[in-house]
Amino acid sequence: MTRALEVVERALDLLLAHDMAGFAGLWAVDGTLEFPFASEGYPQRIDGRAAVTEYMRGYTDHIAPRVITSQTVHQSVDPEVVVVEFEVEGTAVRSGCPYHMRYVSVITVRDGEIVGYRDYWSPLAAAEALGGGNELSEFGESGGDR
């Protein structure tokens, strides 16, 4: 198993454990978190471990992930880059509705830290799961802390 894959597996474990500080702590000081498909009002890029930590701080106030229902890992020819397709089930906290989301994440790990994390997900599906576009926008604007 590559070091990059170990970090990715640790990140997913921390997500399921609702340990957002630990999750964000995997980032390099200057690492980035990007959302290429983000809708208007939602950040497209977050720069640095401190900003990722702040953004993730209130994540579980909105989404309570319970289980990863499927996961496929693709090791790229670059040993520092891992592509992960996964599905998460849990609960949208405010509405109490089921949360089910598919993700494709391209994660670059260097020296045991995440230096780049591109998170591809559907803003429409997220808005629906969270109870509407306003909930998604509030989540993005507040850094996950509303």
Residue 88 lies in a domain: yes
- Position 109 scores a pLDDT of 97
User: In terms of DSSP bridges, do strands 45-47 and 27-34 run parallel, antiparallel, or are they unpaired?
Assistant: antiparallel
- Position 133 scores a pLDDT of 53
- Position 145 scores a pLDDT of 40
- Position 146 scores a pLDDT of 31
Distances (CA, A) of 119 to 28, 95, 97: 17, 24, 23
Rounded Cα–Cα distance for residues 146 and 143 (Å): 8
User: In terms of DSSP bridges, do strands 27-34 and 113-120 run parallel, antiparallel, or are they unpaired?
Assistant: parallel
The count of structural domains within the chain is 1
Are residues 125 and 99 in contact, defined by beta-carbon separation less than 8 angstroms?
A: no
- Please give the chain's pLDDT, 146 residues, in tens: 679 999 999 999 999 999 999 999 999 999 999 999 887 778 899 999 999 999 999 889 889 999 999 999 998 999 999 999 999 999 998 889 899 999 999 999 999 999 999 999 887 777 777 776 555 545 555 454 43
Residue 146 lies in a domain: no
- Position 2 scores a pLDDT of 77
- Position 64 scores a pLDDT of 94
**CATH number for the domain that contains residue 81:** 3.10.450.50
**What pLDDT digit, counting tens, does each position of 54-86 carry?**
999 988 988 999 999 999 999 899 999 999 999
Domain that holds residue 56: 3-141
